[in-house]
Each structure stands twice: as structure tokens, then as C-alpha cells.
Amino acid sequence: MDELQTAPAVAIAGCCCFLVALAVPYFVVETGSAVGAYYGAGVLSPAVPAVLAAVGIIVFAAGREGRTDPGLAAGAGIVLGLFVVGLSLAWAATVPTSLVLGLTESTLMEHHRWAVVAAALPVPLGGAWFARALGLF
């Protein structure tokens, strides 16, 4: 297994999974304005970590393909990933439980905010694996 190809691919997949996890309520909840209230209820909007995850895809892909310095891409990817996880955690911890339970009768939405945080974890982990594969630590 070539870790220099696999590690950033894991981080890219983590970024994609994070973005998909953020899109799930638009398919589960019937009212679009309820989803807007859900995403706007926390301390900050998860749109910020979503943008960082999209940038993370570009950073990891550029590092993997050698279009930018792989060490720089790994380091930047770790930082982006930590911000994605941290900001998602801040949002998830501050969304009122009553709002989450009022969205739909599906138990999927009951655990959605924590699933979003869990989906963000492969981003910094993939970045750290990439840095380790490069021999940076």
C-alpha cells in the first residue's frame, strides 16, 4: 500500500463525507426553513467548516498529485481538519436539543449533529497520516 497516495485519499474522502453529512437534513426534513433554523441555531453556522472542508479537498489533492509541496499540503490539511472538527463540535454542542427533536420524527436527526462531528474526524487524521508518511514526524 502506498501511504503517500492512500493517506491524502482518506482525508479527501473524509472531506466529502463531511459535506454529504451536512446535506442529509435537506433530504430528511420536509421543511427547508426548518433546516435553515437548525443550522443557524448553533454558535456559528456549519457553512464555515463546510467551506474549509471544500478547501481541504483541494489542498490534499494538490499535495497528493505533487502540484504543491506535499509537506505543506499535509500541514495545511491537518490545520484545516482541526478547524473543521473544532467548529463542527462547537456548532453541535450549542444546537438546542428541543430544536433537534422538533425537526422530524426520524431518529436520524436526533443524532445527526454528532454524526457530522464524527464525519469530520478523518480529515485531520488523514492529514496526520500523510505527514507521517512523508516523514515529517
**3 state SS for the chain:** CCHHHHHHHHHHHHHHHHHHHHHHHHHHCCCHHHHHHHHHCCCCCCHHHHHHHHHHHHHHHHHHHCCCCHHHHHHHHHHHHHHHHHHHHHHHHHCCHHHHHCCCCCHHHHCHHHHHHHHHCHHHHHHHHHHHHCCCC
What is the residue range of 90's domain? Answer: 3-133
pLDDT at 84 over 90: yes
Answer yes or no: is pLDDT of 30 > 90.
Answer: no
102 pLDDT band, cuts 50/70/90, is confident
When pLDDT is averaged across residues 20-35 and rounded to a whole number, the result is: 87
Query: 105 falls in which pLDDT band (50, 70, 90)?
Result: low
Per the structure, the count of domains in the chain is 1
